[in-house]
Amino acid sequence: MELLKQIEQHKIVPVIKLDSSENALPLAEALIHGGLPVAEITFRTDAAEASIKAIRRKYPEMLVGAGTITSREQAERAQNAGAAFLVSPGFHRAVTEFAIEQHIPIFPGVCTPTELMMLLEYQLPVAKFFPAEQYGGLKTIKALSAPFSNIRFMPTGGIHAGNILEYLSFDKIIACGGSWMVKGSLISEHQFDKITELTKEAVSLVKKEVS
């Protein structure tokens, strides 16, 4: 529950794809300087595990999770690397059960009532709604919230500075996943100052919504 509170306070979870673990620490520094010490490092590249390890070692106060977890083997590697939470693009029973066994918060991806029913089996309080914009965005989340009033959402996919406040205006949304401030091109070109700038703008934007 403490981790959920932290994520809800930040309102944004940067979703990051790193092709090289050498960029992990400069990226972490950029996010911290931007006022957003949280990251979801996706397991879409071989650099994910080493990147999580490096960030956790240098910045233990930073909230770092592992995303795009699609197997129990990946979940185990993410845990060993020090991931504080796991995110899956869809519901995966073995991954979910591993997370519960190991007491690691997990946010499985859902976009249908059937998948939410599966979450209820495990009494999970928060689901990742993915891909958000492609599956109807806030309208769909509101429709799903009617029969599943005990579940909250972390929508990801197509969310940016122009629509995040609309999502955050709904009380069933704990936070939004986004990558507009941590685009792969900015990382590969080592534009970490730009990432800090965009992160500060994003933090300022959501703080206005909260106030």
Q: What are the catalytic residues?
A: 40, 128
Specify whether the CB–CB gap between 10 and 34 falls below 8 A.
no
Per-residue DSSP letter, 83: -
Sign of CA dihedral 24, 15, 186, 203: negative
**In the β-sheet with 38-42, what is the strand arrangement from edge to edge?**
106-107, 86-87, 63-67, 38-42, 12-16, 176-178
Specify whether the CB–CB gap between 145 and 151 falls below 8 A.
yes
Distance CA 187, CA 183 (A): 7
Close Cβ partners of 189 (under 8 Å, ≥ 6 residues apart): none
Residue 13 host element (H or E)? strand 12-16
Nearest Cα neighbor of 210 from 162, 181, 175, 168 is: 168
